[in-house]
Chains A and B, each alone.
Chain A
Amino acid sequence: MELHLNNNRPHLMHVDLNSCFATLTQQAFPPLRDKPLVIAAYAQPNGCIVAPSICAKKFGIKTGMTVREGRLLCPYIIVRTPDPDLYRDAHMRFRKIFMDYSNDVTPKSIDEAILDFSEMMSTNLDLVRIGHEIKKRIRSEIGEYVSCNVGIGTNMFLAKLAASLNKPDGLDIIEAHNLFDVYNHVSLLDLSGINTRFQARLNMAGIYTPMDFFNAPREKLQKVVFKSIIGSRWYEKLRGYEADEKNYATKSIGQQYAMRIGTADPREIGRIMMKLTEKMGRRLRRQHYTSRGIHVWCMYRDYSFWHRGRTSESEMYTTPELYRRAMLILNQQPEKKIITKIGVATYDLAPYLSDQLTLFEESFTKERLVADACDQVNDRYGEFTIVPGNMIDMDDVVLDRIAFGGVKELEDLYASETVSTKY
């Protein structure tokens, strides 16, 4: 049966900060404003650009390029490394502004959020006016150089699409009456969730434009194009119905590290793994979880990739428990090649019940109490005040970074805010 367009009044607002990391840096340092600036993981030719400024984008510089590639497009770009504390502070301020307008605010990443007004739609709520007010407040309360895009729609997909129509500093609304007009002016790749791989699949099925996509029957999308329920969800999303889940529960906690110079030295790799598991363990304990699974992956200098995950019966909570399991897996690599990127994640999470009795109460309980005590010392005197012995002299390795497009880190940030207010 054909599904008609969603004719309801739009109730979702997507707010997206323009070139967030670069704009906040330019807000902080006025001499950098209106200049081609990039935020790169490392300020070296091979460093990956994580955020170009609006001016840098005009030169064709894009996220994911290396600094070297950026310099080929604009020889005088300014390169800075990320300032995670600045971005986190700005995120908390945005969130505070959004919470003044809706009780239902879902962060989508450090610079994006969805505001749901569905509970207030019985009143004469003017979302366009609220959108303009939020823009004004961001400028006055965070900084005059900080701008955002606001999109309004009947589902998260259309709200995000609306927010991308007029960058930077736009405000757009997509409703049933202008939906086709929008679809006629964008490409498949402009739709959130369609990457080049999905575009190729759609093309193979004779779908070349968003209007072709809209007109494709549900069965074709489900059985031919996506070969899963995802096709059916796209059919609903394109018509303005909600098909995406707003909140994703934390299923895993992970850390990764890209090395400036690769290494195959087992001692060095062990030290990096210790720091990764310590950071991962801190996050696991801060969110009051235990875990049963560990997944380790390595990217080698020859661009080959290896990974392995293992689940066990006993729960892990302390850093030594996580580290031992991770190293056991890491030692199963078939070849000892030069590693350039390494990552570890823990999964199969369960709430930590500190008062649960175990058969091995004595040793387990003591280790966990020591872990909690060490965490309290680090909370009080600063991160890495107490560290495992093989992490000595590792201050400049595995630096603090903001994860791309993830909300897991934000849950951790909110958890740490809650912890800090206890003092």
Chain B
Amino acid sequence: MHEKINERVDVITIYRKIGAISMPYKLRWNGRDHIIKALGYHHKVKEGKTIIHIFSCSSDTLAFRLRFNSDTLSWILEEVLDGASS
């Protein structure tokens, strides 16, 4: 199942010097905290001059698509997936 969310969420990020990667570490959505265990893919999208970072990441049970606007420094949870057929 996957669900489009498109809501602003609280996110804590972490920077790892090995690999020079910045990535979400924890996000709070619907009153629950989700620890990010793996970053599946990170890519950038240009919306005009603004660079948007898309983080496709997962906790133990769910996968998230998070959108970071480098202009406004805001995080949006775009989508949540659990890997089951909808």
| Chain A residues engaging chain B, CB cutoff 8 angstroms | 24, 27-32, 35, 75-80, 85-86, 89-90, 143, 378-383, 385, 420, 423
A77 cross-chain contacts in B, Cβ below 8 A = 85
A-B contact count (CB 8 A): 67
Is there contact, CB below 8 Å, between A31 and B85? Answer: no
**25 sampled A-B residue pairs with Cβ under 8 A:** A24-B41, A28-B41, A29-B40, A29-B56, A29-B63, A29-B83, A30-B38, A30-B58, A31-B81, A31-B82, A32-B81, A76-B85, A78-B84, A85-B43, A85-B54, A86-B43, A89-B44, A143-B40, A378-B48, A380-B48, A381-B47, A382-B47, A385-B48, A420-B46, A423-B49
Q: Are A31 and B46 in contact (CB under 8 A)?
A: no
Given contacts A27-B41, A28-B40, A79-B86, contact A379 B81 (CB under 8 A): no
Who on chain A is nearest to B82 by CB? A31
Asked if A380 and B49 sit within 8 Å, CB to CB, the answer is: yes
In the bound complex, do residue B83 and residue A78 qualify as a contact, i.e. CB atoms below 8 Å apart?
yes
The answer for the CA separation of A90 and B43 in the assembled complex, in Å, is 8
CB-based closest 6 A-B pairs: A31-B83, A28-B56, A382-B48, A89-B43, A381-B48, A28-B41
Least CB separation from B41: chain A residue: A28
Q: Which residues from B are CB-within-8-Å of A385?
A: 48
List chain B positions with a Cβ less than 8 A from chain A: 2, 38, 40-41, 43-50, 54, 56, 58, 61-63, 65, 81-86
Q: Which residues of A contact B81 (CB under 8 A)?
A: 29, 31-32
Cα–Cα distance between A90 and B44 once the two chains are bound (Å): 11
CA A385 to CA B50, docked complex, whole Å: 13
User: With the chains together, A77 CA to B86 CA distance in Å?
Assistant: 8
Judge whether B86 and A78 touch: CB under 8 Å: yes
For residue A306, give the distance in angstroms from its CB to the closest CB of chain B: 37
User: Nearest CB to that of B61 among chain A residues?
Assistant: A31
* Chain A CB within 10 A, most for which of B38, B45, B50, B81: B81
A75 surroundings in chain B (CB, below 8 A): 85
CB of A29 to closest CB in B, whole Å: 4
With the chains together, A31 CA to B2 CA distance in Å? Answer: 11
Enumerate chain B residues within 8 angstroms of A80, measured Cβ to Cβ: 2
Cβ of A85: which chain B residues have Cβ within 8 Å of it? Answer: 43, 45, 54
Q: Are B49 and A27 in contact (CB under 8 A)?
A: no
Min Cβ gap B67→A in Å is 11
Whether A31 and B62, one on each chain, are in contact in the complex, defined by CB atoms closer than 8 angstroms, is yes
By a CB distance below 8 angstroms, the chain A residues around B48 are 378-383, 385
A378 to B48 Cα, complex, angstroms: 6
Q: Which of the listed residues B44, B61, B63 has the most CB atoms from chain A within 10 Å of its own CB?
A: B63
Q: In the complex, which residue of chain B has the Cβ closest to the Cβ of A30?
A: B58
Other-chain contact of B85, A28, A78, A379 (Cβ < 8 Å) = A78
Tell me the smallest distance from the CB of B77 to a CB of chain A, in Å: 14
Q: Which of B43, B47, B50, B58 makes the CB contact (< 8 A) with A31?
A: B58
Residues in A with CB closer than 8 Å to B44 are: 89
Cα-based distance from A75 to B84 in the complex (angstroms):
12
Contact across chains for A30 and B40 when beta carbons are under 8 A apart: yes
Q: Which residue of A lies closest to B45 (CB)?
A: A85
B51: nearest chain-A partner, CB-CB: A420
